[in-house]
Structure formats: structure tokens, C-alpha cells
Amino acid sequence: MHVFIWFLISLAALALLWMLAIAPRTHSPDLLPELHDWMYAHRGFHDDALGLPENSLGAFRRAAGEGFAAELDVHLTKDGQLAVMHDESLLRMCGVDRRICDCISDELRSYKLGKSQEGIPFLEDVLPYFESTTPLLIELKTCGKNAPELCERLMRTLDGYNGMYCIESFDPRVLIWFRRNRPKIVRGQLSTNYTKHNEKLNPVLRFLLHNYLLNFIAKPDFLAYNIEDYRDRSINLCRKIYDVTEFSWTVRNKEQQNIADAMNSALIFELFDPRKDFNAHMDF
């Protein structure tokens, strides 16, 4: 009987620790609700058929022109510039097997995205389209241990920027830097089911990141999760216990849009226009 009681006590303690570990920031900046109300075009409002590849200036121009906010990805180049591209490598988009963090900016400017005439933009090129229009959701892509340098370089660029923006990252070190150095900036923790989606990570780190178990250090203002994983354990707990602000990626059809809407989650979408043919809410 004593063993059983201690087992129950241990389970209760573990559950309590889990709930404490996933807790987001309790007093977020006032800008968070307004940022949550926008629809974000994932990597810009891109469309290869229109010659507008993902994370291209044309895709961002189209997003701002259509009244959408935009999500984009930022890497730190070897010479300290902020290149806008999703992948760590240039292989998929430019046909060159090179990491962005190993390239200097002049080299990157020489490449074209896919079969288009669009080049790789830098963050300074994108900002003017959104400064007086719609918000930016800036995902920071770290390389090795460059998180502090990446964050510092980003803020040197954004300190003179008057538009609305927030930051997010899969890497909790980015959020920890902002917690310590720029606490007034809205920050979000990205996650996915790393096992289900075949992401290569250390098993322990994979478990921690999938379940938002480093939130107690990073203290995100919002959680950005893969829409396919909206029922996962920790996001459900954060939703029910903490009423956390949610962003859903990457929404590609009306069914997924309805799921995100039912969760009161901000929409990060691509490959369709979420304003058209909106369906009634689904029950979950």
C-alpha cells in the first residue's frame, strides 16, 4: 500500500512539474492581441505559377498589397547580414549545396530562387513593404551557436523600424535572449511533433521541444505549432490551463483553416486565399 501511495505522489509531482515547465509568459506585451488578429502569408503570398517563389520580394509585395501580414525566415550570413530564406541550405531553392551561414551576402545576391528571376532578399529589402501596412512574423533560424549574434543583428535592423512585428523560433535560445535583452518584444515558441515528421534531433531534445518543456526558461508569449499536431498533449494543456495565444502553421486548405479558427489560433497560411469561400465553423 505504501508503495502505491508513493507511486501516486510521484505521478502527481510529475504532473505538477510538467504544468510548471510548459507555462508561457503571464504578462505579455499589449501588442500581442493585435498581432494575433492577422492572417500571415507563410513565406509571403507566394505562387510559383505567377513567378513569385517563397520568401521572394514579389511574394512579400503581393502579401502586403493584398492586406495580409507575412511570415518570413531570417538567417545570419558569414558577413553578418540577414538573409531571408527558409532552408539552411541553398540546395532546394537555388541548386547550390551551401549553407547560408557559410556564405557572404554578395554571393547570395548572385543566386536566383527556383526558375524565377527573383533573387534572395535581405531583411532590409522586405521591411519597407510592411512598415505602414501589415505586421511581420519573423522566424529566426540559428546556425550552431550563433543565436546571440543573430538576435543582436536583427535588433540593430529593427530598432529604426516603425512597423508591427513579433519574433519566433524553434530554438529556445532565441527566446531566452529576447527574454533577457528585449522583454517588450512579442516572442513565440515554434514546435512540431518531431518524431512524426521525421525531424533529426537528439531524442531528449526532441522530447523537450515537442512538448514545450523549456517554456519555463524561454517564457513565450505565444505557441506556434504544426496544424497537424493541434491535438498533441502539451499544446492542449497550455490551451486549457493557461489559455495560451496560438498560431497555427502551415494551413493549406479550408478544413485546416476551420480547425485553426475553432482553436482561436492565428492563421499562418500558404497556397490558397483564406478569405475566399470561408466555411462554417467545425465542431471539435
Percentage of the chain beyond pLDDT 70 is 97
Instruction: Kindly indicate the confidence band of residue 283, based on its pLDDT and cuts at 50, 70 and 90.
Output: very low
Q: What distances in angstroms separate CA 273 from CA 47, 145, 251, 277, one per listed residue?
A: 11, 38, 10, 9
Q: Which amino acid is at 251?
A: V
The confidence score (pLDDT) of residue 91 equals 98
Asked whether residue 38 is assigned to any structural domain, the reply reads: yes
Instruction: Kindly indicate the confidence band of residue 279, based on its pLDDT and cuts at 50, 70 and 90.
Output: very low
Instruction: Kindly indicate the confidence band of residue 200, based on its pLDDT and cuts at 50, 70 and 90.
Output: confident
Query: Between 276 and 85, whose confidence is greater?
Result: 85
- The DSSP secondary-structure symbol of 38 reads S
Please give the mean pLDDT across all residues of the chain: 94
Write out the residue range of the structural domain in which residue 138 sits: 2-269
Instruction: Kindly indicate the confidence band of residue 277, based on its pLDDT and cuts at 50, 70 and 90.
Output: low
**Short-list 216, 144, 203, 208, CA closest to 175:** 216
Three-state SS at 216: helix
Asked whether residue 276 is assigned to any structural domain, the reply reads: no
What is d(CA 264, CA 258) in angstroms, rounded to the nearest whole number?
A: 10
> Quick one: which H or E segment has residue 83?
strand 82-84
Q: What average pLDDT score do residues 147-175 get?
A: 97
Global pTM exceeds 0.85 = yes
CATH of the domain at 252: 3.20.20.190
Strand partners, 73: 139
Asked whether residue 282 is assigned to any structural domain, the reply reads: no
Domain count, the chain: 1
The confidence score (pLDDT) of residue 11 equals 79
The confidence score (pLDDT) of residue 284 equals 35
Q: Are strands 82-84 and 69-76 parallel, antiparallel or unpaired?
A: antiparallel
Q: What average pLDDT score do residues 220-232 get?
A: 97
Asked whether residue 278 is assigned to any structural domain, the reply reads: no
Q: What distances in angstroms separate CA 218 from CA 26, 64, 157, 179, one per listed residue?
A: 12, 31, 23, 7
The confidence score (pLDDT) of residue 281 equals 38
pLDDT greater than 50 at residue 53: yes
- The DSSP secondary-structure symbol of 282 reads P
Three-state SS at 126: helix
Asked whether residue 248 is assigned to any structural domain, the reply reads: yes
Instruction: Kindly indicate the confidence band of residue 1, based on its pLDDT and cuts at 50, 70 and 90.
Output: low
pLDDT greater than 50 at residue 227: yes
**C-alpha cell at position 189:** 515558441
Asked whether residue 80 is assigned to any structural domain, the reply reads: yes
Q: Which of 75-84, 91-100, 195-204, 263-272 shows the lowest mean pLDDT across its residues? A: 195-204
The confidence score (pLDDT) of residue 114 equals 95
Q: What average pLDDT score do residues 72-92 get?
A: 98
Query: Between 126 and 200, whose confidence is greater?
Result: 126
**If you compute the radius of gyration of the chain from its CA atoms, what whole number of angstroms results?**
20
Instruction: Give 108-144 pLDDT, tens digit per residue.
Output: 999 999 999 999 999 999 999 999 999 999 999 999 9
Q: What average pLDDT score do residues 200-204 get?
A: 86
Asked whether residue 90 is assigned to any structural domain, the reply reads: yes
Look at the block and give the residue holding cell 557559410.
102
**Cβ(211)–Cβ(23) under 8 Å?**
no
**C-alpha cell at position 122:** 535581405
pLDDT greater than 70 at residue 280: no
Asked whether residue 107 is assigned to any structural domain, the reply reads: yes
